Amino acid sequence: MRRLIYPALCASLVALSACSTERAASNDPYAGLDEAIRVWRTDLVASPSCPAPAPEAQVEGPGAAEGCRSFSVACKVEAELTEAEQADGVEAKALSAMRWEAWDPETMEFRQTSAAAEFVRIGEDWTRTEAPPVNLSTCSPLSPT
């Protein structure tokens, strides 16, 4: 009898934990932010920030076709909401910075570069705007705004 109860108990606990994880994710004001950052990366690759190397450069490997490689999120921090933003329906705000290597046509090599963006969530949707340069470790602005 004990052998039959144990598997049933385990299955019940797994099902219960799945439900609580879904509920927690739906209450997370930052749900979907990672996907918004992935979209940002895709947009960066398609932008002039990632000039594809000319065929005569004979670049091979990662970034050879796209002009950028080695993307990483350097920092990501929660930003405070103003009363006006809250009145406009903003539910969450975050500042993030990303670094990568971009092809430099002048030197014919990949160079480190970075960018920062502010993400704002209204409802289920995240919007992104460019942000001034930040410290890549802390996401603190490099200059007073």
Question: For residue range 70-115, what is the model confidence (pLDDT) as tens digits?
Answer: 999 999 999 999 999 999 999 999 999 999 999 999 999 999 999 9
The per-residue pLDDT of the chain, averaged, comes to 84
Highest average pLDDT, of 8-12, 22-26, 86-90, comes from 86-90
Q: Starting at the earlier edge strand, list the strands of the sheet with 68-78.
A: 68-78, 90-104, 109-122, 125-131
The CA radius of gyration of the chain, in Å to the nearest whole number, is 22
Report pLDDT for 22. 46
Confidence of residue 65 (pLDDT cuts 50, 70, 90): confident
Distance CA 104, CA 51 (A): 8
Q: What is the pTM of this model?
A: 0.76
Please name which of 54, 37, 48 lies closest in space to residue 106, comparing C-alpha atoms: 54
Q: Burial of 104 by CB count in 10 Å (0-12 exposed, 13-18 middle, 19+ buried)?
A: middle
DSSP helix/strand/coil, 138: coil
